[in-house]
Amino acid sequence: MQVLNGVIKSIEELNEDSVNNAQERMENLIKPPGSLGVLEDLAIKMAGIMGDSRPVIGEKSVIVMAGDHGVVQEGVSIASQEVTRQMLSTFLNGIGGVGVLARQAGARVVVVDVGVAGGPVNVTGVISRKVKPGTQNIARGPAMTREEAVQAIEAGIEVVRTEINRGAGVIATGDMGIGNTTPSSAILAVLGNYTALEVTGRGTLVNDDVMSLKCNTIASALEINKPDCTDGLDVLSKVGGFEIAGLTGVILGAAANNVPVIIDGFISTAAAMIAASLEKKCINYMIASHLSSEDGHKLMLEYLGLKPMLYMNMRLGEGTGAVLAMNLVDAGCRILNEMATFSEAEVMDLEDDKILK
């Protein structure tokens, strides 16, 4: 708890001077003010996060937190629980979704077992921070104890800190966990004050019968656990998951270290909601990437006041959407750094093309 409290305390407001200086330069670039829209906002946000009015995107890491969910006993998922474990190596060896897209983006993939069912994951490169081999069934009681939630969050804090110390300047969040749209929906319901019906989406391959079962399961989880919406740790431990807790730590840890964190889809944004409920200032360090095709994602982003950039109808998780957005964050920084201002351009004789020579 000490680590978590320390991190929460050290999250600052964005650097106002850097924001103002970046804004001023942006307004003087050789284009109509505002015409690059979100690219401009991104660059100015990056300036504030990094405390540098000419921010340059650093090394990139995507941190994929993995965990299993006792609630799959209720039949809320079509896929079998073993898939959580099986997919982890594909992220690292580059044949899985996030493996491919991270290679394209030039991002390091970090995979962490915070709560995968069964024994240790025997894959080189998977970091073991297993709190427990999966949560308890949230339809019957709490997912985990409050202490376990803190332990998983602090694992995320430690992993992101290590990445930042290794040189990461931008972090993307990713998740792997069969059944994890169910706890994520429950988190949305509690913190966003929605009914189970309003937050239940199709997840992966869920048909109408399973949808109805899933909705009832979420309703039971809320009814039995009665999570306290004013206490993020209570919500997380009662209806969350270990990978969601790990991602909460990643987000808080990035913010505490003045590093931007790109939020992936439904599961990652559930973690972002928990992080925001623990310390609202961390929202300033978040960059929304894509709008997932999972129904409730839009509501989550609205809760956080974030706007997605990519409308790709994706719902794979793993950090795929967040990694895809790294190029956009880079683009924003490049606009601020590499475009000329009117006064810079004026000293060049443009038509005679002296700049090229």
Annotated catalytic residues are: 318
Please say which residue, 30 or 197, places its beta carbon nearer to a copy of itself.
Answer: 30
Site size toward a copy of itself, by CB under 8 A: 64
Three-state DSSP class for 47?
A: helix
Q: Measure Cα distances from 169 to 56, 101, 164, 172 in Å.
A: 9, 18, 7, 10
Q: What torsion do the CA atoms of 338, 343, 345, 350 make, to the nearest 10 degrees?
A: 180
Three-state DSSP class for 171?
A: strand
Facing residues of 63 across strands?
110, 173
Using CA atoms, how far apart are residues 10 and 23, in angstroms rounded to an integer? 25
Query: Using an 8 Å Cβ cutoff, are 290 and 321 in contact?
Result: yes
The answer to whether 263 contacts a copy of itself (rule: CB under 8 A) is no
The answer to whether 55 contacts a copy of itself (rule: CB under 8 A) is no
Largest CA distance in the chain: 75
The answer to whether 92 contacts a copy of itself (rule: CB under 8 A) is yes
Using CA atoms, how far apart are residues 161 and 310, in angstroms rounded to an integer? 28
Please say which residue, 253 or 308, places its beta carbon nearer to a copy of itself.
Answer: 308
Using CA atoms, how far apart are residues 242 and 274, in angstroms rounded to an integer? 13
Whole-number minimum distance, CB 110 to a copy of itself, in Å? Answer: 15
The residue within the footprint of a copy of itself, chosen from 2, 13, 32, 208 (CB under 8 A), is: 32
Q: Cα(first)–Cα(last) distance of the chain, in Å?
A: 60
The answer to whether 169 contacts a copy of itself (rule: CB under 8 A) is no
Whole-number minimum distance, CB 98 to a copy of itself, in Å? Answer: 10
Stretch that binds a copy of itself, among 17-25, 189-197, 270-278, 302-310 (CB under 8 A): 302-310
Stretch that binds a copy of itself, among 1-9, 36-44, 144-152, 231-239 (CB under 8 A): 36-44
Backbone dihedral angles phi then psi of residue 330, each to the nearest 5 degrees: -60, -45
How far, in whole angstroms, is CA 308 from its chain's centroid? 12
The answer to whether 3 contacts a copy of itself (rule: CB under 8 A) is no
- Give every CB contact of residue 41 below 8 A, 6+ residues apart in sequence: 332
The answer to whether 94 contacts a copy of itself (rule: CB under 8 A) is yes
String marking each residue 127-166 x if it binds a copy of itself according to CB under 8 A: ----------------------------------------
The residue within the footprint of a copy of itself, chosen from 236, 276, 314, 322 (CB under 8 A), is: 314
| 325-354: contacts with a copy of itself (CB under 8 A) | 327-328, 330-331, 334-335, 338-340, 344-345, 348, 350-353
The residue within the footprint of a copy of itself, chosen from 55, 96, 241, 246 (CB under 8 A), is: 96
202 token code pair: 């199709």
Query: Using an 8 Å Cβ cutoff, are 332 and 46 in contact?
Result: yes
The residue within the footprint of a copy of itself, chosen from 125, 141, 167, 305 (CB under 8 A), is: 125
The answer to whether 316 contacts a copy of itself (rule: CB under 8 A) is yes
The residue within the footprint of a copy of itself, chosen from 20, 28, 59, 100 (CB under 8 A), is: 100
CA dihedral (282, 164, 118, 267) positive or negative: positive
Stretch that binds a copy of itself, among 66-74, 220-228, 252-260, 307-315 (CB under 8 A): 307-315
Geometric angle at alpha carbon 209, from 203 and 213, rounded to 5° = 70
Stretch that binds a copy of itself, among 2-10, 28-36, 158-166, 186-194 (CB under 8 A): 28-36
352 token code pair: 């005679």
Burial class (CB in 10 A: 0-12, 13-18, 19+), 302: exposed
Instruction: Return residues touching a copy of itself (CB under 8 A).
Output: 30-33, 35-39, 79, 85-87, 89-90, 92-97, 99-101, 103-104, 121-125, 204-205, 293, 307-316, 320, 324, 327-328, 330-331, 334-335, 338-340, 344-345, 348, 350-353, 355-356
